[in-house]
Amino acid sequence: MAGANCSVGWEDVARSLARSIADIASAQVEETRFNDRVILLTLVPPNPRAAKILLDVSPWEVILAAGQGTRFELDPLPASAEEVTALALAIAGGGLTERIRRNRVDFTVRLDDGTVREGSQGSAFALRLGPSEEVQYPPYRENG
């Protein structure tokens, strides 16, 4: 996408969205700045077994990552705000399942409206030498 898409307030929109999601999910937000065009907002769950959510945000796109290999490449904010929110809240609610196998992660996210989003990613972090493993991440708050 062209540089014309670089709105002045993209960082503020990203921070506001991350704080909003974190408030609903009872998470903490950590921010890392890579350069003047990329920030990483990490939603850290209170439940250590739950999947952290990483929002890699630039003026051109949002990459939402969670677990060991779940990854969505989304439109820039604010156009993707609703989709980012739906995916993040589903993951925070315990809707993420991953099947981790040799250098690959197959994932399923069950959204609150019943929609299922699936995908598959190669992942050096998910290297398994033995049999595949299915991981169902628990909710950010164990009691809902």
Whether 76 is in a domain gets the answer yes
pLDDT at 129: 59
Angle between helix 81-92 and helix 10-25 axes, rounded to 10 deg: 30
Whether 11 is in a domain gets the answer yes
Whether 70 is in a domain gets the answer yes
Whether 143 is in a domain gets the answer no
What's the structural domain count of the chain? 1
> Residue 126 above 60 pLDDT?
no
Whether 142 is in a domain gets the answer no
**Planar angle of CA 68, 69, 70, nearest 5 degrees:** 115
Whether 141 is in a domain gets the answer no
- Range in 2-6, 21-25, 119-123 with the lowest mean pLDDT: 2-6
CA distances from 116 to 34, 90, 133, 138 (A): 32, 10, 20, 17
- The residue type at 125: F
pLDDT at 142: 76
- Retrieve residue 113's tokens: 């409206």
CB 40 within 8 A of CB 34: yes
pTM higher than 0.85 for the full model?
yes
**Residue 128: which pLDDT band, with cuts at 50, 70 and 90?**
low
Query: Which has more pLDDT, 23 or 5?
Result: 23
Residue 41 is part of which domain span? Answer: 3-136
**Which pLDDT tens digit goes with each residue over 47-99?**
999 999 999 999 999 999 999 999 999 999 999 999 999 999 999 999 999 99
Whether 113 is in a domain gets the answer yes
Q: What is the Cα 19 distance to its own chain's centre?
A: 14
Whether 144 is in a domain gets the answer no
